[in-house]
């Protein structure tokens, strides 16, 4: 190890020794540097770049450290030889204990699996109940919407007197032509008076006819939210068609009697909406 650096200098007085004595000498490697859990040899060697030490000297120092550790390990075993021999005897019978622990763990695993299966079963039951609840809510919503359609249909038939057999009287109109039915020009009740008073009627359209057409358009809009093949809507087709025919007939009469082109166009637009 002629190339190693040593602390201190010699008393030879030579210039070479004086120059070597002025150089910094590396400290011995610490054992704690090798105890890090994430120890990496490449990182460790790169951290020694400023040790002023040759690679041969570093290898020799590491070799000496390894030999020292091996010697200490041998001394430790020799000093505690009897304890190492008795270690095997103290472990005698451990197989039974390990087997007991294994059986206990297997039983615990079965219990956990049984609990997990119960939880999964209950989760599936709750999911099914929630699905049924959602379906019932949807059916309830559809039922309420259809009930509203039925109520509006009954009310509109009542206002148009479709269900009665009373003969519609005619009222002469100025200027001749076709006559209005009594359902449009009859004396209004108290409720109808309030309704007409609050209505912003379209010029050229009788207020009551306007309200009936609006109610019919609302009825069509509510029905359009459901499938046209719904059994309830299929059962009401005849009633809806009857109301539509009456409204179209009255609108046609109003169009023929209207003299103003602007109002006639408004009536034709309403008729187009009813026919759709």
**pLDDT digits over 84-115, tens only?**
777 766 666 667 778 888 899 999 999 999 99
Q: 229: how many CB neighbours lie within 10 A of its CB?
A: 7
- Cα separation, 117 vs 233, in Å, equals 47
- The whole-number pLDDT of residue 93 equals 66
- The whole-number pLDDT of residue 114 equals 93
- The whole-number pLDDT of residue 130 equals 94
pTM of the model: 0.43
- The whole-number pLDDT of residue 82 equals 77
Query: Contact 276/219 with Cβ under 8 angstroms?
Result: no
Q: 209: how many CB neighbours lie within 10 A of its CB?
A: 23
List 180's β-bridge partners, or say none. Answer: 171
Query: Contact 57/1 with Cβ under 8 angstroms?
Result: yes
- The whole-number pLDDT of residue 163 equals 63
3-class DSSP assignment, residue 136: helix
Domain boundaries of the chain, sorted by first residue: 54-92
What separation, in Å, do the N-terminal and C-terminal C-alpha atoms of the chain show? Answer: 109
- Cα separation, 216 vs 156, in Å, equals 8
268-274 LR contacts (CB < 8 Å, sep 24+): 270/205, 270/210, 270/213, 273/213, 273/217, 274/213, 274/216, 274/217, 274/244, 274/247, 274/248
- The whole-number pLDDT of residue 258 equals 79
Residue numbers in the chain where pLDDT is lower than 70: 1-25, 88-94, 163-204
- Cα separation, 245 vs 275, in Å, equals 9
Q: 41: how many CB neighbours lie within 10 A of its CB?
A: 8
- Cα separation, 7 vs 27, in Å, equals 9
Helix (H) or strand (E) holding 245: helix 237-257
- The vertex-14 CA angle with 18 and 27, nearest 5°, equals 35
Q: What is the CA radius of gyration of the chain?
A: 52
Query: Contact 9/17 with Cβ under 8 angstroms?
Result: yes
């Amino acid at each position: 190890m002629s190339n190693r650096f040593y602390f201190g200098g010699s008393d030879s007085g030579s210039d070479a020794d004086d120059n070597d004595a002025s150089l910094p000498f590396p400290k011995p490697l610490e054992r704690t540097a090798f105890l890090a859990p994430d120890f990496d040899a490449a990182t460790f060697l790169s951290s020694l770049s400023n040790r002023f030490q040759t690679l041969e000297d570093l290898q020799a120092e590491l070799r000496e450290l390894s030999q020292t550790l091996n010697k200490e390990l041998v001394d430790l075993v020799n000093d505690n030889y009897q304890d190492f021999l008795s270690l095997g005897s103290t472990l005698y019978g451990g197989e039974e204990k390990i087997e007991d622990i294994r059986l206990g763990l297997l039983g615990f695993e079965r219990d956990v699996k049984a609990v997990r299966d119960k939880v999964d079963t209950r989760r599936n039951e709750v999911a099914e109940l929630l699905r049924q609840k959602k379906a019932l809510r949807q059916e309830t919503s559809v039922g309420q919407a259809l009930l509203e359609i039925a109520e509006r249909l009954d009310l509109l038939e009542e206002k148009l007197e479709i269900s009665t057999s009373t003969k519609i009287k005619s009222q002469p109109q100025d200027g001749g032509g076709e006559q209005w039915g009594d359902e449009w020009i009859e004396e209004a009740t108290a409720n109808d008076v309030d309704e007409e008073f609050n209505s912003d009627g379209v010029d050229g359209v009788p207020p009551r006819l306007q309200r009936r057409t609006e109610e019919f358009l609302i009825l069509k809009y509510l029905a359009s939210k459901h499938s046209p093949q719904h059994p309830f809507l299929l059962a009401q087709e005849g009633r809806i068609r009857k109301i539509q025919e009456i409204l179209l007939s009255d609108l046609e009469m109003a169009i023929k009697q209207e003299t103003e082109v602007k109002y006639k166009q408004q009536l034709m637009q309403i008729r187009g909406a009813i026919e759709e």
